[in-house]
Amino acid sequence: MDLGWWGVPVAVLGGTIRVSTPFLFVSLGECLTEKSGRINLGLEGILVMGAMSGYGVSYLTGSPWLGVLVAGIAGLALGLLHGMICSLPRVNDIAVGIGLMLLGTGLAFFLGKPFVQPKAPTLPAIHLGDWASSPQVQSALQVNVLFIIGVILALALTWAFRNTRWGLVVRMVGDSSDAARAMGYNVNRVRVLATAVGGFLAGIGGSFLSLYYPGSWNEGLSSGQGLMAVALVIFARWQPLYCFYAALLFGGAGALGPALQSVGITSGYYLFNAAPYVLTLAIMIATCSPSRNLAGAPGELSVTR
């Protein structure tokens, strides 16, 4: 059965779920880091590093899930590095993030050179669309387990920030380091841990890129998802659940170009690909204000001041 023009929304739907998963993980990681009062602009580097290490391990061991785990650990290590350097007095976290972006992509390209050609085993999909007769609908409803884990994680983080001791400590450190210090908490230690766990999530987001969609490792794999996640978290007002909705929106914007190309609209291909960046910028222009802090922003965050 040929869907004709209906193929566009179906393809956008399927694309949205696929494209949004890395956004979801990276933005949840960034959300956690920013809740603790630091900003990590280096998630882009962590994402690429995660994509490379996940693919490499999957190729060498034959187990894609081990690859996902190693990608997370690589992200954890880089997050730890960022967190510890930023704990030194008078070190600017935004600048260190730019440095980490450079270091992460450099290391990934360097170490990932041997993995550009070979084909590694990738993650399996869950077929939710087998009831449909149309192959387009079937392929659109192939969902990866990581997407479902990401949704659960968004709900769990929302709950944890509200209801657990750890969530409260992270939020307090992010809103007022003085208050946290007065309560006897080590501000830097909380922030280092939050950045490291955020890096872990971003690394997993990267492994999705190389192990599921697009499903290969090359140097042009990431198109700035790690950076857009920073804007996405601002858009989501530092709420994990809103991060999920925002990730879907960005995934949809990113899926538009390829979907239109599949029905033969190729002129303006590059302009459609720029849609997520324009969307991010438009959102930031609409939501930021020079006179006050953003509603919901952690008080210690440098990026909103």
Partner 1 sequence: MTLPAGRAVAPAFPSDRMRRAAESFVIPVGALVVAMILFGIFMALIGKNPLEVYALIYKGGFSSGFAWQNTLQRAAPVILTALCVALPAQAGLIIIGGEGALVLGGLAAAVVGHAAAGASPLVAQIGMALIAMIVGGTWIAFAGALRHYRGVNETISSLLLTYIAIALFNHFVEGPLRDPGSLNKPSTQSIGEAMMVGHLPGMDVHWGLAYGVVFCVACYVLVRYTVLGFALRIVGGNVRAARLAGLRVGWLVLVSCFLGGSAAGLAGMVEVAAVHGNANASLIAGYGYAGILVSFIARHNPLAVIPVAILVGGIGASNGLLQRRLDLPDATVLVLQGIAFMVILAAETLYGRFRVFQPREQQK
CA distances from 240 to 53, 136, 150 (A): 26, 31, 10
User: Which token pair is 67?
Assistant: 């690859």
Nearest by Cα to 104 from 85, 125, 82: 82
Identity of the residue numbered 149: I
CB of 152 to partner 1, least distance (A): 29
Nearest by Cα to 47 from 249, 199, 247: 199
β-bridge mates for residue 144, sequence order: 125
- C-alpha 143/C-alpha 124 separation (Å) is 9
To 5 degrees, how large is the angle CA 247–CA 203–CA 31?
45
The DSSP call for residue 113 is G
Q: Which is nearer to partner 1, 96 or 153 (CB)?
A: 96
- Footprint on residues 101-140 left by partner 1 (CB under 8 A): 102-107, 109-110, 113
Judged by CB under 8 A, does residue 264 bind partner 1? no
Judged by CB under 8 A, does residue 186 bind partner 1? no
Judged by CB under 8 A, does residue 261 bind partner 1? no
User: Which token pair is 39?
Assistant: 């900003």
CB of 226 to partner 1, least distance (A): 11
Q: Which is nearer to partner 1, 66 or 94 (CB)?
A: 94
CB of 101 to partner 1, least distance (A): 8
To 5 degrees, how large is the angle CA 257–CA 100–CA 62?
70
CB of 96 to partner 1, least distance (A): 5
Of 5-13, 96-104, 198-206, 244-252, which part binds partner 1 (CB under 8 A)?
A: 96-104
Q: Which is nearer to partner 1, 7 or 299 (CB)?
A: 299
Q: Which of 224, 262, 265, 296 binds partner 1 (CB under 8 A)?
A: 224
Judged by CB under 8 A, does residue 281 bind partner 1? yes
CB of 130 to partner 1, least distance (A): 37
